Structure 1
Amino acid sequence: MEHFIEFKNVSFRYSEDQPWVLDDVSFKVKANEWLAIIGHNGSGKSTIAKLMNGLLIPQQGEILVSGMQVNESTIWEIRRLVGMVFQNPDNQFVGTTVKDDVAFGMENHGFPREEMVERIQESLDAVGMTDYAGHEPHRLSGGQKQRVAIASVMAVSPKLIILDEATAMLDPKGRKEIMNTVRNVQQQRDLSMITITHDLHEVVRAERVIVMNKGKVWLEGEPRKIFEKKEALREIGLDTPFITKLTSELRNEGLDIQREPLNHQELLEELWTLHSKM
């Protein structure tokens, strides 16, 4: 299936006396794609994640997951296909040990015990937490907790993983390790991945970006195209990567940098190309 997720004219609000959090939102997520969703607080990012997972149901429009409409009758199948990792992993832990926690979701979905044992091992291997199977989740470090949360989601073999500010509580090293882990798992298992984040380092690694503003899809495209619109992003309260800012300053100094670099290596390549022409 070309598109795994489809939002069709979706509107949502938390009560009738409140404004729409999402207002006529439409977009698609391809199979095996890494999509980043960004926007200022209150722009509707986390609401989108909860709608995809069936935690919320839209008042208007429809959401399709793998061709199925998200509604009360499809919620459990949807949640098997769409796994979520939240900002605070402590809110997801239910087991007394790491192994128990990874098993919990499979128990809810009625997996046979023999298959559960195999999947626990595979999931912990994938995130590098096999040696911690007997540990208490709450005694782990922040990065280790998120790895366990990811393993718990992975165990039920979803087709899409949503990370809702999942690295926000980690230091830069921890964020990098978690994103590398998730990226490796995504590529190994051909998953779609959606990151809802304020971390611009995560955004530039995605294949596509959706910018939300006031409950609407404000901009959509590849990271390079998105960050070319620096002034427009700043006007709606969003930052741009340091490399983008540095490139802008270098252009102001007269350097004819053609494309928009997304990382240090790309900027160095652009500068070396300019130097070679001198």
Structure 2
Amino acid sequence: MSSKLVEFKDVSFRYGEEQPWVLKNCSFEIFENEWLAIIGHNGSGKSTIAKLMNGLLFPQEGEIIINGKQVNEANIWDIRKDVGMVFQNPDNQFVGTTVQDDVAFGMENRGIPRDEMIRRIDHTLAAVNMQDYRFTEPHRLSGGQKQRVAIASVLAIFPQVLILDEATAMLDPKGRKEIMQTVSNVQTSQKLSLITITHDLQEVVQADRVIVMNAGEIWEEAKPRDIFGKKDALRKIGLDVPFIGILADELKHAGIAISHEPLNHEELLEDLWTLHLKT
């Protein structure tokens, strides 16, 4: 089994002494090379988890361990070498005048030699299929292309953990699909731990494990298929069920014996085709 890379131990957080707790006694682990999805409605605490993991915030109670090091102000820069983060709006992360300059920025701050920087720029832009845009000004890119560059900029510092905090929220359906495919390819090729934070259940299909947040607490932790099987309960906590799950339920109610909870159209079609061959 892979070793633990991230640990949350009874973590609680609030944005002020008079404010309600945003997180309440949260405990979970993330393992090397694992894809973990954290989902929940707005205000459930999922984005606060991301900021705590990257040292943008610190818990009032409990502790967070990243790669054997406790997250605190004394070692925050060491933590940020291990944890990279991509936010909802990529424009907030751009600092360079060209795509190449932007990818180089984080490496320059870490004193990485020029030859190594050039090698990493080539490698990371190829990983997100943006090598043909290296001299393009970021503001000329589409939303999906900007997010690809933001991902490349983080990958260039060789993090062990990559966090995407609502990174597809501003994209159209085609852009979302492309980014999630890029993320899947990167996670496989780079062998890093990936954490995707979203309110969209359709984005968790490829994850190894899902944590569902509700009112600052862990509501459920399971594999995607098991999470998708709790449609009514998910609706009660404000999460939209993917269309494919709704369609599968309607088919079951119509007497069509779908054998399992489908995660995508391909699985549903395979089930229907198998049933057709048996009749």
Q: Which amino acid aligns with 1:8?
A: K
Structure 2 regions of 5+ residues with no counterpart?
none
> How do 1:168-187 and structure 2 match up within 5 A?
168-187=169-188
TM-score, normalised to structure 1, is: 0.97
Q: Which residue in the other structure is 1:72 paired with?
A: 73
> Mapping of 1:24-63 within 5 angstroms?
24-63=25-64
Amino acid at match of 1:96: T
Q: Give the equivalent residue in structure 2 for 1:228.
A: 229
Deviations 1:140-197 (A, max 9, x none): 1111111110110010001111111111111111111111112111111101111111
Which residue in the other structure is 1:218 paired with? Answer: 219
Letter in 1 for 2:199: H
Equivalent positions of 1:76-225 (< 5 A) are: 76-225=77-226
Taking the aligned partners of 1:72 and 1:169, their CA distance within structure 2 comes to: 32
Segment of structure 1 superposing worse, 10-19 or 99-108: 99-108
Deviations 1:90-122 (A, max 9, x none): 000011111111111112222122211211121
SS at match of 1:254: coil
| Deviates further, 119-128 or 152-161 | 119-128
For 1:266 and 1:135, locate their aligned partners in 2 and report how far apart those are by CA, in whole Å.
40
Alpha-carbon distance between aligned partners in 1 of 2:213 and 2:124, rounded to the nearest angstrom: 33
SS at match of 1:87: coil
In 2: Cα distance, 1:276 partner to 1:214 partner: 46
Instruction: State how far apart, in whole Å, the 1-side matches of 2:61 and 2:51 are.
Output: 15
Q: Give the 3-state SS of the residue equivalent to 2:8 in structure 1.
A: strand
SS of aligned partner of 1:6: strand
Partner Cα separation in structure 2 for residue 210 and residue 190 of structure 1: 21
Q: Kindly provide the CA deviation profile for residues 181-224 of structure 1, in whole angstroms up to 9, marking residues without a partner as x.
A: 12111111101111111233211121111100000000010011
Aligned partner of 2:122: which letter? Q
Q: Which residue of 2 aligns with 1:5?
A: 6
CA RMSD of the aligned region, Å? 1.2
Measure, in 2, the Cα distance between the counterparts of 1:186 and 1:223.
17
Query: Gapped runs of 5+ residues in structure 1?
Result: none
Partner Cα distance (2:238, 2:191) in 1: 34
Structure 2 CA distance for aligned equivalents of residues 119 and 254 of structure 1 = 55
The alpha-carbon deviation at position 269 of structure 1 amounts to 2.1
The separation in 2 between residues aligned to 1:118 and 1:251, in whole angstroms, is 53
Name the amino acid aligned to 2:85: M
Give me the whole-angstrom Cα distance separating, in 2, the residues matched to 1:6 and 1:27.
Answer: 6
Which one-letter code corresponds to 1:53 in the other structure? Answer: N
**What is the aligned-residue identity percentage?**
70
SS across alignment from 2:44: coil
Give distance in 2, aligned partners of 1:233 and 1:51. Answer: 25
Structure 2 distance, partners of 1:24, 1:199, is 24
Question: Secondary structure of 2:74's partner?
Answer: coil
Q: Distance in 2 between matches of 1:110 and 1:21?
A: 37
Letter in 1 for 2:100: K
1:276 and 1:135 map into 2 onto residues whose CA distance is 52
Match in the other structure for 2:240: 239
C-alpha distance in 2 between matches for 1:116 and 1:275: 56
Report the number of matched residues: 278
Q: Answer whether contact 2:7 2:66 (CA < 8 A) is retained.
A: yes
The one-letter amino acid of 1:92's match is: Q
Q: 1:230-269 CA deviation, whole Å, 9 max, x = no partner?
A: 1111111111111111111111112222311111121122
